[in-house]
Structure 1
Amino acid sequence: MPDSLQLLYITDDDRHIQAVQIPWKLWRKIEPLARPVLDPFMKPDFEEPVEPLSAFEEFLHYWDFRYPYSPAVSCPHCGAATQNWRDDLTHPFRLANANLGGLLVFHCRACGATIRQKHFRDHMAVEHTAPKT
């Protein structure tokens, strides 16, 4: 094998092979064969659930409370806050649940706390659960 195509074996303290480093020229030749095998390993272990935006839209559609809806969300646990959870580019809160009964549930991306906005006929109450440690 030419010097430019030498393989480098990376071992642990017990000299067990942990990885093999291959030259770029060789990788370009074998990538089409290797990619289907490697792709499943390249995906993240956890995919964040999709926000239930259709349930939220339904919640807004039937809004008939005595006060206007406010998109502001704040985390009583860590203090993270936004004036509009939908339009904030940093998206500090992820909508986890929405229902016609007036409940909106958010997860704080900063600390992992759960924030529940309970919309009643004449007021909104906020509850939260601290993140699991």
Structure 2
Amino acid sequence: MSRLDDNVKFLYDDKGKSLGVWMSPELWNSLDAHIAPLLHKLYPECFEDAVVPEPVDDLNMLKEYWDFPYPPDGKVHCEHCGASTEDWESDDPRVFRLKAANLGGLVTFECLQCSSRIMKRHFKDKVTFECKPPVDRRSR
């Protein structure tokens, strides 16, 4: 097999109809700078940053079924860049964006200053914060 065979696979359905082309990450990384501008031009709608609504209903459900011995609060802080707020919901402009909330007490935010991910974990006796620095998605 040639090096090209290792890095490119033509995909077909069971009737022989072409479905597409698979390429290895190594090949994509070497072609990305050349192909990406063409893809942006041909399919601009695929590269627009769609704003996903904050999952406020999930947070409200957590508050509705709140059974911790302390009241809920809106404090959030980012250990990566130092951004902080006493009430993330009332900030204008916003400092943090709600990304997820669940009944287990995990509430996740994105720092709008540095894009770090902040996880606020509610336990029966305490609240902990964990901050993960931003991830460069192009390097994946």
TM-score normalised by the shorter chain: which range applies? 0.5 to 0.7
TM-score for the superposition, normalised by structure 1? 0.66
1:31-70 equivalent positions in 2, closer than 5 A: 45-70=48-73
- Percent identity for Structure 1 against Structure 2: 38
Question: Alpha-carbon deviations, 1:71-123, whole Å to 9, x = none?
Answer: 01110100011111111111110000000000000000000000000000110
Question: In the aligned structure 1, how far is the partner of 2:63 from the partner of 2:116?
Answer: 24
Residues paired across the two proteins, number: 94
1:83 to 76, 81, 86: 86
Instruction: List alignment gaps of at least 5 residues for structure 2.
Output: 1-42
Q: Larger C-alpha radius of gyration, 1 or 2?
A: 1
Q: Paired residue for 2:129? A: 126
Instruction: List alignment gaps of at least 5 residues for structure 1.
Output: 1-39
Q: What SS class does the counterpart of residue 88 from structure 2 fall into?
A: coil
Q: Larger helix proportion, structure 1 or 2?
A: 2
1:112 to 112, 115, 124: 115
Question: Alpha-carbon deviations, 1:9-35, whole Å to 9, x = none?
Answer: xxxxxxxxxxxxxxxxxxxxxxxxxxx
TM-score for the superposition, normalised by structure 2? 0.62
Structure 1 segments, 4+ long, off by >6 Å, are none
Question: In the aligned structure 2, how far is the partner of 1:41 from the partner of 1:116?
Answer: 33
